[in-house]
Amino acid sequence: MTRITSPGAAMLFGVVLMTLPAEAQEKALPDPVFPFGAVYFRKSNPPEQDWERDHKTAAQLGVNIFRHWFMWASIENSPGQYDWRDYDRMVELEGQNHIKVVIAELVNSAPEWMWDKYPQARHVGVDGQQSFPTVGGSSATGGAPLCLDDEDVRTQAGKFLAALVERYRDRAATLGYDVWNEGSVQECYCPATQARFREWLKAKYGKVEALGRAWHRYSLGDWESVHPPHGTGGYPDSLDWLAFRRDDAIRLLHWRTELIRRLDKRNKVTAHGVGALTEIEWRTADDVDSYGYTWVASRHSNDPWMQFQAADLVRGAARGKAFWHAEATGGPLWMQPQVLNRPLEDGRSSDDKDIRVWSLIDMAAGASGILFTRWRPLLDGPLFGAFGPMGMDGSVTPRAEMAGSLARWTNAHADVWKSRPVKGDVGIVFVQESDDFNQVQSGGAAGGSARGNRGGSAAGAYTESVQGAYQAFFDSNIQADFVSIDDIGQYPMIYLPYPEMLKKSTADKLREYVAKGGHLVSEGCPGYFGDGGTVGTVQPNLGLDRLFGARETYVQFTPDLLTTLSLTVRGKEIGGQYFLQEYNAAGGRVVGQYANGHTAAVENAFGAGKALLIGSFPGGAYFRNHAPATREFFAGLLAWAGVSQRVQSSDPQVKARLHQGAAGTYLWVVNPTRVLRTVKISLPSAFQRAVDLWQSSGHPAVSGNVVTTAVGDRDAAVIRLE
């Protein structure tokens, strides 16, 4: 017996043809064209007496997928004794209502009976304190924070996962497994993690003497004297600790995926992060069949660039795989620190039009499935009332009605999802070591959430620089894709933000890229710190002086004094930030000056390509101060690289994205503002006919390569071009 999935499920889980096992007990439900739904069950919410009604209501609205938290600590109530009753009922109701199920397995929180049985596995923080069993904030259930690096705990977790898969793999409603909730990388100092760290270091350095030289710690003695750093004062050990933690997290992810795939040949594996600037996004996407992300306006902002950026980052990390918005905003958030002192309309609360535009932004950026963080709000705990489109009592709100409209529309237009976003005009290069070094240099300020670091500090500067560059392109409707250093050859132009530390291997790839004809724009101090965080005696370091045709004459690391730095580059007076470098041209051509007349930018032909080096950090400057001249400078970089902007918008507040594929060409035009706007969109080629598939009142008109359309308040046009 074989099953061919529909286009939407093929996009979400990367499946085209699958064979059901001979022992399958239930005939599989057809997969949705576009999975649209929510997280439903987080024990013990919603109340049991409402489950049957809620499922019928959701199905009537058009919901076709639910995700549940199958929490180890809520199921294995005593050793080897599993209470599946609530979860069996969920999957049964999904089958009856033609709703597919994604099983989110949560084994990071162990059953509380294991706390005393495996004391050596208790999570230990950087302060040496053990974490204790507690009730979770995102689900009002208890659990014990035990470390999966411990063999005993991982063995028990493996038994639970095996029982989970064997119980639900052949259910009609099962679609797949979400194996990593929000991609968190733990920091644990328990004995098992420390032992893992030593093995990781042995594989990298071989002998403890080599480790001592690399770490500048010459009296380690033997491997048992090696411990993770408890601070960021020593750069090499801190950088290794960050890298190990990511590797260890991916190892445990792979353990999950392999276990599930070994037991279940029918259903597929997905995971989701948080759209953060970390290689974890790319590496997780590599290991699963599809990828996703959590992003909620209430925790961030209602600024459109932020939601586009989260989706674009995950799309880049997915490298062509399907990706989904695994946890999206469906309702308000109350009394949490992220919302304090923000206006109600800044994602703090939401109405039906917010749900509409946020969902359409996801689709415009290429998401192939959308699930709200809740279907119904929790009734317990600090997140009571949060995120769900339904009312607290399970009633249908205008938000839920809008969700239903979107669910029905997405599944009635199968051809739309056969086309995918075109490649961006420019690639913004993500370099993990640059972010790592910014963290350790700034005393451990984590990357991925720079908001709030707007003073004179360089904390969070890597993230600010990346996001600022993205915003500068975004504000001119230039599609900037996030790209790993291994994929830069796919783009004729790349932008390198905050490259303060680079590995030699990264510098070599940049040099090769330009030599082969690429166009590189780099911010200041590229590779100032090389492998291990050591300053180069020649700057730019790592042989990059030849690439850029420039030599440093002066450098200044004074972020507190450079908050209003300005420099003129290619005729534009732009902002700088954090640090500054001055140069002598050494084969390159001077194209920028600081106010003192010293050289601020150098352009150089190298091989078949060319490079532009800017002595400060205009991405960080734009993040903090959206100066028009800086935005214009970023837009002008395309002409410098000989790149034509693929899609242009006559209204900078209206965003347009082009999708192409087997089912044709589609133009997405998103209006995140609160007024009707009429806009002209210029395209790379001419068309004869334009049909809006979403709006009934847009009435798009096409003349050659220009499409004119009206888009309402927090709405979008989805235009098929012929």
pLDDT tens digits, one per residue of 425-438: 999 999 999 999 99
**pLDDT above 50: residue 450:** no
Domain 648-721 CATH (choose: 1.10.260.40, 3.30.413.10, 2.60.40.1180, 3.40.50.300) = 2.60.40.1180
Instruction: Write down the pLDDT at residue 183.
Output: 87
Instruction: Write down the pLDDT at residue 214.
Output: 96
Instruction: Write down the pLDDT at residue 140.
Output: 80
Decide: 494 and 426 in contact? Cβ < 8 Å. Answer: yes
| Helix and strand element counts for the chain (H, E) | 19, 34
Beta bridge pairs of residue 666: 659, 720
Q: How confident is the model at residue 11 (pLDDT cuts 50, 70, 90)?
A: low
Of 509, 502, 510, the closest CA to residue 536 belongs to: 502
Non-local (6+) Cβ contacts of 122 within 8 A are: 115, 130, 131, 144, 145, 146, 147, 190
Q: Where in the chain is the domain with CATH 3.20.20.80?
A: 2-185+268-412
Of 388, 309, 311, the closest CA to residue 350 belongs to: 388
Q: Using omega within 30 degrees of 0 as the cis cutoff, is the peptide bond preceding 32 cis?
A: no
Q: How confident is the model at residue 708 (pLDDT cuts 50, 70, 90)?
A: very high
pLDDT tens digits, one per residue of 244-271: 999 999 999 999 999 999 999 999 999 9
Cα–Cα distances (Å) from 606 to 170, 174, 515, 602, in that order, read: 58, 54, 6, 12
Non-local (6+) Cβ contacts of 343 within 8 A are: none
Distance separating alpha carbons of residues 37 and 374, to the nearest angstrom: 9
**pLDDT above 70: residue 697:** yes
Q: At what angle do helices 51-61 and 398-412 cross, to 10 degrees?
A: 50
What is the length of the chain? 722
pLDDT tens digits, one per residue of 551-594: 999 999 999 999 999 999 999 999 999 999 999 999 999 999 99
Q: How confident is the model at residue 444 (pLDDT cuts 50, 70, 90)?
A: low
Non-local (6+) Cβ contacts of 168 within 8 A are: 87, 91, 101, 103, 174
- Burial group, residue 68, by CB count within 10 angstroms (0-12, 13-18, 19+): buried
pLDDT tens digits, one per residue of 628-675: 999 999 999 999 999 999 999 999 999 999 999 999 999 999 999 999
Q: Where in the chain is the domain with CATH 3.40.50.880?
A: 426-640
User: Residue 139 has what DSSP assignment?
Assistant: S
Of 235, 150, 151, 226, the closest CA to residue 188 belongs to: 150
pLDDT tens digits, one per residue of 302-330: 999 999 999 999 999 999 999 999 999 99
Domain 426-640 in this protein, CATH class: alpha beta
The CATH topology of domain 2-185+268-412 is TIM Barrel (3.20.20)
pLDDT tens digits, one per residue of 467-487: 999 999 999 999 999 999 999
Of 396, 299, 420, 403, the closest CA to residue 358 belongs to: 403
Decide: 629 and 576 in contact? Cβ < 8 Å. Answer: no
